[in-house]
Amino acid sequence: MRRSETTSTGDRAGFLLVAIAGVYVAQSLVTGVAAQALPALLRSQGASLQQLGWLSLLMLPWALKFAWAPWIERWRLPAGSAARSRQMVLGGQLMLAALFALMAAGGGRQVGLVMVALSLAALLAASIDVACDGFAIEQSQPSLRGWVNVAQVGGSYAGLLLGGGLFLLVAQRWGMAQGCFLLASLIALLGLPWWFLRPGSVARSLTRRPASLSQAWRRPTVRRGLVLTILLAIGPRLVMGLTGAFLLDHGMPLEQLAWLQGAGGVLAGLTGALLGGLLVRRWQARVALVTALTLQALALLCLAGAVPLLMQAVAVWVFSMALSATFVANYTLLMRCADGPQPGVDFTLFQCADACMAVVLGIVGGWLAHRLGYSAVLGLAALALAMAGVAVYYRGTGPDLFSEKPSDADA
């Protein structure tokens, strides 16, 4: 009987992870299209670098989602009624698929329709993220939280690469309408597990304490975590939206770029995540983070120099790999910063701060590249990464934040 109950619990946990991972993949598909595929497609059609920089505004919903998160939480968990998490996430997924189907029906040639639909998709995906995060925390036991985090990070990275690579490949070969139809089908398929998901009961006492941004701001570790987030975002966020256009302008065909950002990006992301995990396990998170930042800076310096196209492609791959390793090490530190009475609220602040930096620095990077050229922007980004590495290595952002404690292994 106990073995049957254990098997049933394990099956439910596995199905929960599949459902949660599908949501994060779908959300990041939108980000991949907006941040990688669409800039490359528009650049191939003659758009200027300054115009490409404005596409970073599509990241605004992820930067501002904290503003409407309390409203979503109240709607998801109404007082005296059953939770609406499943209906809210499933409905949101279907609406997200419908938006991409609308873009496909429009042929993908009307830029105005694509921008409006992508803006709505970004707003919807960011809202689904709030509901899914709360649901995942409620439904997962402490022993399952690590796997939930793997599903979130891995799913998000996979979606980003699929949206930036697979969509770009399909759109280049068969047209943007076919690419939008493919994404609509994928998003609907990824939301299918939520139709069969049967959430467990949750003690409503978990919802009686509303989220408090003021309480988060009063905690010194949260403020230090925000400083760390901003410091580490300056370098990569300045150039992330320019790497595709950079390679295109230096002679790489669009189809090869799609493979580099797609299959090559998946390999870089998985390799970097594994490398980051091994470094954090082998050394302190601070040393792992400094190592990853150093690799990023070296890759950007290689891009800024006069090197052949093949070396430029390798440098972009190494940059992507090092960026993935940076995420692993950085999240380890930020989880310690958010380890308090309201970790979900605290970690959301870090996410929103990073998204704000992505919007601002994406515009600044496009403007600087238009005015000063690629080499100047790449050099500035490498300098910012080097300064961040020095700051992290020689100065902690909080009491014992970079030290390895016994409790950190549990986190």
CB 245 within 8 A of CB 52: yes
Distance, CA of 242 to CA of 237 (rounded, Å)? 10
Q: What was the pLDDT predicted at 26? A: 92
Q: What was the pLDDT predicted at 10? A: 61
Query: pLDDT tier at 411 (50, 70, 90 boundaries)?
Result: very low
Structure tokens at 234: 């300056």
Structure tokens at 288: 């792992």
What's the rounded mean pLDDT across residues 116-130?
89
CB 96 within 8 A of CB 128: yes
Residue type, 401: L
Is residue 198 packed enough to be buried (19+ CB in 10 Å), middle (13-18) or exposed (0-12)?
exposed
Residue type, 308: P
Q: What was the pLDDT predicted at 404? A: 42
DSSP state for residue 65 in the 8-state scheme: G
Stretch among 2-6, 42-46, 123-127, 313-317 having the lowest mean pLDDT: 2-6
pLDDT tens for residues 133-156? Answer: 778 767 766 556 556 656 777 787
Q: What was the pLDDT predicted at 407? A: 37
Count H helices, E strands: the chain? 21, 0
What's the rounded mean pLDDT across residues 229-251?
86
Residues of the chain with CATH 1.20.1250.20: 1-198, 213-411
Distance, CA of 28 to CA of 157 (rounded, Å)? 7
From residue 354, how far is each of 2, 240, 330 by CA, in Å? 45, 13, 12
Q: Within 10 A of 40 (CB to CB), how many other CB atoms are there?
A: 25
Is residue 400 packed enough to be buried (19+ CB in 10 Å), middle (13-18) or exposed (0-12)?
exposed
Query: pLDDT tier at 172 (50, 70, 90 boundaries)?
Result: confident
Stretch among 93-107, 205-219, 278-292 having the lowest mean pLDDT: 205-219
DSSP state for residue 395 in the 8-state scheme: S
Q: Where are the alpha helices (DSSP H) in 240-262?
A: 243-249, 254-261
Structure tokens at 106: 């429009």
Distance, CA of 181 to CA of 174 (rounded, Å)? 11
- Which of 241, 176, 179 minimizes the C-alpha distance to 39? 241
- Which of 205, 204, 199, 196 minimizes the C-alpha distance to 81? 204
What's the rounded mean pLDDT across residues 384-388?
91
What global pTM score does this model have?
0.70
Q: What is the chain's alpha carbon radius of gyration, rounded to the nearest angstrom? A: 21
pLDDT tens for residues 38-60? Answer: 888 877 777 777 777 777 788 78
Query: pLDDT tier at 356 (50, 70, 90 boundaries)?
Result: confident
pLDDT tens for residues 63-98? Answer: 888 888 778 777 877 766 777 888 889 999 999 999
CA angle 167, 168, 169 (to 5 degrees): 90
Asked if pLDDT for residue 287 goes beyond 60, the answer is yes
Q: Considering the chain, what is the average pLDDT of its residues?
A: 79
Question: Over the range 350-378, which residues count as b (16 or more CB within 10 Å of their CB) and which as e?
Answer: bbbbbbbbbbbbbbbbbebbeeeebeebb
Topology classification of domain 1-198 = Growth Hormone; Chain: A; (1.20.1250)
CATH number attached to the domain at 213-411: 1.20.1250.20
Asked if pLDDT for residue 410 goes beyond 50, the answer is no
Cα torsion 111, 115, 116, 120: sign: positive
